[in-house]
Amino acid sequence: MTITQPRHLLDGSHRRMFIGGAWVEAASGETFETRNPATGTVIATVPRAGKKDIERAVAAARNAFDGPWSRFKPHERQKLLLKVADLFERHWEEICVSDTTDMGLPIARARGNANRVLGMLRYYAGMATALHGQTIDNSLSGDIISYTRKEPIGVVGAIIPWNAPTAASVWKIGPALATGCTVVLKPSEEAPLTPLLIAELMAEAGVPDGVVNVVTGTGAEAGAPLAEHMGVDKIVFTGSTATGQSIVRASAGNLKRVSLELGGKSPVIVCADADLERAVPVAAMSVFANSGQICIAGSRLFVARSIHDEFVARLAAYAAGLRIGDGIDPETEIGPLISPRQLQRVEGYLRAGSEEGARLVAGGTRLSHGALAAGNFVAPTVFSGVTDTMRIAREEIFGPVISALPFDTLDEVVRRANDTPYGLAAGVFTRDLTTAHQLSRRLQAGSVWVNTYHAIDPAVPFGGYKMSGYGREGGAEHLDEYLNTKGVFIRID
C-alpha cells in the first residue's frame, strides 16, 4: 500500500493548536518538540499551552454549546458524524502515518484499526437519533404526567494518553457530538499530532466552531487546569491510575462528572485443554502489540502446570521470531517505546525481574544495533519462575514484558488473578464451555475475552473495576456518561 504524507507534514515544522475554529499559538508563545520514537528525530513543534489557553478553549466550547450547536437536531448531529466518518475513511492512510510516526504504532496495526475507529463514529451517529427519555407512571394524586428528558451535560474536558491517539480521540469526541456536548481535548505531549489532524478533519466536515477544541501541552500545565476548571461540566480521562486519582481530586471544585479508564495488570489464564496453536500467538500479542503499551495488556500469564513448560517454550520461540523495527515499515510487528524515559522505566523492570529471581527465557534487553540504535526498542520479553509478589507480576510495566506463572486449580487461579488493585481486562483459553462461563463470571474485570483478546466493538461497553477506573466507553452506557437525566411533572387536570 502506498504511504501518503499527512497534511501535517512530519518534517520538524511548526503546528498550531485548534481553539474556537481557529489555529492559534499558546498565550505564552512557548512550544515543545515531538519526536519520532523510532529515530529520535524532531517531527514537529507544537504550542505549549497553559492556564490562559485552557480558559480560552473552555470559553469557546461554552459559547458553542450555548449557541448554534444547541439548535442542532439529532438527525443533523447524525448527518455530521457520518460525514466525519467518511472523511476519516478517505484520509485513513494519513491518520495511520501520523500515529506511526508520532508514537511508534506499527503501520500495519494502525491500518487494521480502521473498522474499529470508523465503526465508532458510525455507531455514535446511529445513537444520536436513539437518545430518549421515558414516560413513567407515577403514584401521585391528581392527574399528573411524569416523564424524563436526556439532555447534554455541557462542556467536556477530555484528556487522552499517547498510546492510541486516534481511537482515544474518537472515543471522547464521538459521544460528545452525538449527544450535543462540546469538547476541549488535551492530547498527551508525547503524541499530539494526530489529534490536531483530527481537528482539521472535524472542521472540514463542518463541525461548528468551538464544538471541538484541541489544546496541546503538558499534564501539569494544561491538563490540571482543565480538570480543575469550573466551566467544565465533565472530565473524561484515559491514563495512569495515579493521574486519575489527581483528576478526581481536581474535579471536586464544581463536582463535575468524571469517567476514568485507568491502568491494568490483566491476567490471561491458559487451561490445560487450551488449543495451543491459537493460545500462544494470541497470548503473546495481548502484550507485545504496541510494544506492551496497552492498558489491557495481558501481562500476567497463568498457565496450567501440566502444560506450563511447553507453553513457555513456544511463547519464547514466538517472541524471538517477531520482526522489530521502525513502524513505518509494513513488515514491522513490534515498534519502539514512546520515549527514552519509558525505555528507562521498562529497563528498570527487566532488572527487577532478574534481581527478584525470575528466569529470563526470551528478550530482556534493549535493542541498539544498526538502525535500532537511535530509537527506543526493547526485545519482546518472557519471564518464567515468576511469583505473585514480584514487581513484574504486581505493577503495570507498559512494555513488552510477560510474566508466566503456573497454576494447579481453577479456584486457585481465580483467587490469584483477582489479587490485584486493578480490574480492567482478563483472558481465558479453554475448550470447555463450562470453564469459560465460570471463569468469565468469577474474574473481576470489566472485559473478559475467551479464546481471543483485544476484541473491542463500539456497541459493547468497555471499562474497569476497582482502581482501573469507573464509567464505560462504548455501548449505550457510554452515551449516558455525556447526558443528564431530567424528571418532568405536569399537572393536566
Residue pair 148/155 in contact by the 8 Å Cβ criterion: no
Half-sphere exposure (Cβ direction) of 327: Cα atoms closer than 13 Å: 30
- Residue 261 bears catalytic tag: yes
Is beta strand 300-304 parallel, antiparallel or unpaired with respect to 359-362?
A: unpaired
> How many Å separate Cα 164 from the centre of its chain?
6
Residue pair 14/44 in contact by the 8 Å Cβ criterion: yes
Query: Which parts of 338-474 fold into alpha helices (H)?
Result: 340-355, 391-394, 410-418, 433-442
The number of helix segments (H) and strand segments (E) in the chain equals 16, 24
Residue pair 426/269 in contact by the 8 Å Cβ criterion: yes
> How many Å separate Cα 484 from the centre of its chain?
24
Residue pair 387/405 in contact by the 8 Å Cβ criterion: yes
Is beta strand 182-186 parallel, antiparallel or unpaired with respect to 212-214?
A: parallel
Is beta strand 447-450 parallel, antiparallel or unpaired with respect to 425-429?
A: parallel
Q: Report how far residue 303's alpha carbon sits from residue 308's, in angstroms, rounded to the nearest whole number.
A: 5
Cell of 274: 487450551
Q: Is the dihedral of CA 238, 243, 248, 251 positive or negative?
A: negative
Q: Report how far residue 76's alpha carbon sits from residue 70's, in angstroms, rounded to the nearest whole number.
A: 11
- Which amino acid, one-letter code, is at 8? H
Which of these is catalytic: 189, 261, 333, 396?
Answer: 261
CB neighbour list of residue 290: distance below 8 Å, 6 or more residues apart: 104, 105, 106, 109, 163, 164, 335
Q: Is the dihedral of CA 191, 192, 196, 201 positive or negative?
A: positive
Q: Report how far residue 207's alpha carbon sits from residue 163's, in angstroms, rounded to the nearest whole number.
A: 26
Q: Report how far residue 200's alpha carbon sits from residue 185's, in angstroms, rounded to the nearest whole number.
A: 13
Residue pair 350/367 in contact by the 8 Å Cβ criterion: no
- Which amino acids are annotated catalytic? 261
